[in-house]
């Protein structure tokens, strides 16, 4: 039986006019020994052209080395690979230095996209030791937020200066709610509409309203934790398994195809070669299967996996 799967090399256009591959490799938690290096190298060798990392993942050195080794060995040029990294909360007051440090670790002259990782600045005075790539805590155990004299509008003001330096081709946001985006877009200092909002999306958190709002405002969506995050819990859902068996594909391919069909960028993470390769192969879901997956959160209730208590800052309001 001929396979219905096709390697998904599709791209979508950002509001900058640049094309971004709709399937990228996620690298959050790819931190064991050579995990990040091997997974990024494997992805690039097998056709991926989009890699997503972040300063706080603490794997930029490995990710960058894999990209550079691949470029040197394959002859594929840097401009054919889309690389994203992210500004951590302790550096909201100085994105220029933070981006320079990320580029240094990556061994790259520029990234294609630089995102504000979370909309809340963190208080550097509560950092223990010298590593600012951390979550600082108050003595009472709460996350030390820096929101009295600072906010993401000020961070965005500084982010906008980065585009002219050529060190990032585009800027965007991550984990921004509709209210926070409205505040950002309506601020007098806003001159650049974020290219992307990278958010948690999967069948148990479809984010229909936020996706529509972003699309209406020319902000592309990127789905992180598209399989439900660590150990991919979505893949154990009966409806997903049944659809996978019916079409002779993997449960992950069912879920990634659902994302692709919804028309945004999807960033599945894996450190396993076979999964990395198979996760890039998608198919068109028949209407009834697409609808059954879309219905999952209505039947079972929505479930957010990635969340921090940044109170009094209300992240998802």
Binding footprint of ligand A2P on the chain (CB under 6 A): 26, 225-232, 235, 250, 252, 268-272, 275, 278-279
Q: Return the structure tokens found at 195.
A: 């290219």
Q: Return the structure tokens found at 290.
A: 């697409």
State which residue, 47 or 107, has the beta carbon closest to ligand A2P. 47
Determine the distance from the C-alpha atom of residue 188 to the mean position of all C-alpha atoms in its chain, rounded to a whole number. 27
State which residue, 116 or 271, has the beta carbon closest to ligand A2P. 271
Whole-number CA gyration radius for the chain: 19
**Shortest Cβ 267–ligand A2P spacing (Å):** 7
| Annotation says 57 is catalytic | yes
The secondary structure element, H or E, covering residue 296 is helix 287-300
Number of helices and strands (H, E) in the chain?
A: 10, 12
**Shortest Cβ 82–ligand A2P spacing (Å):** 17
Is-contact 53 63, C-beta < 8 A? yes
**Shortest Cβ 282–ligand A2P spacing (Å):** 12
- Annotated active-site residue in 37, 57, 114, 224: 57
Q: Return the structure tokens found at 286.
A: 């028949």
State which residue, 272 or 304, has the beta carbon closest to ligand A2P. 272
Determine the Cα–Cα distance for residues 276 and 270; give it in Å rounded to an integer.
6
State which residue, 50 or 269, has the beta carbon closest to ligand A2P. 269
Own/partner pairs, 105-108, CB within 8 angstroms, 24+ separation: 105/55, 105/60, 105/61, 105/64, 106/53, 106/60, 106/61, 106/63, 106/64, 106/67, 107/61, 107/64, 107/65, 107/67, 107/68, 108/64, 108/67, 108/68, 108/78, 108/83
**Shortest Cβ 28–ligand A2P spacing (Å):** 7
State which residue, 134 or 249, has the beta carbon closest to ligand A2P. 249
**Shortest Cβ 162–ligand A2P spacing (Å):** 27
Catalytic residues: 57
């Amino acid at each position: 039986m001929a396979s219905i799967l096709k390697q998904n090399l599709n791209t979508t256009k950002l509001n900058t006019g640049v094309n971004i591959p709709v399937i990228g490799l996620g690298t959050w938690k790819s931190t064991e020994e050579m995990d990040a290096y091997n997974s990024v190298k494997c992805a690039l060798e097998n056709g991926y052209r989009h890699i997503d990392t972040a300063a706080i993942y603490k794997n930029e050195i490995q990710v960058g080395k894999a990209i550079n080794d691949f470029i040197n060995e394959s002859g594929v040029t840097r401009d054919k690979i889309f690389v994203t990294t992210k500004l951590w909360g302790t550096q909201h007051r100085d994105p220029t230095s933070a981006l320079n440090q990320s580029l240094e670790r990556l061994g790259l002259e520029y990234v294609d996209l630089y995102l504000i990782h979370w909309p809340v600045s963190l208080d550097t005075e509560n950092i223990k030791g010298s590593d600012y790539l951390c979550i600082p805590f108050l003595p009472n155990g709460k996350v030390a937020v820096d929101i009295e004299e600072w906010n993401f509008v000020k961070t965005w003001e500084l982010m906008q200066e980065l585009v002219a330096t050529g060190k990032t081709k585009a800027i965007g946001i991550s984990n921004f709610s509709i209210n926070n985006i409205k505040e950002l877009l309506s601020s007098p200092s806003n001159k650049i509409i974020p290219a992307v909002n990278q958010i948690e999306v999967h069948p148990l958190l479809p984010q229909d309203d936020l996706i529509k709002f972003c699309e209406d405002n020319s902000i592309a969506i990127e789905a992180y934790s598209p399989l439900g995050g660590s150990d991919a819990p979505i893949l154990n859902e009966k409806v997903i398994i049944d659809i996978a068996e019916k079409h002779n594909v993997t449960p992950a391919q069912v879920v990634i195809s659902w994302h692709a069909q919804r028309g945004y960028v999807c960033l599945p993470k894996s450190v396993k070669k076979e999964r990395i390769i198979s996760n890039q192969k998608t198919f068109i879901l028949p209407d009834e299967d697409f609808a059954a997956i879309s219905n999952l959160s209505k039947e079972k209730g929505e479930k957010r996996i990635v969340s921090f208590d940044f109170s009094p800052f209300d992240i998802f309001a």
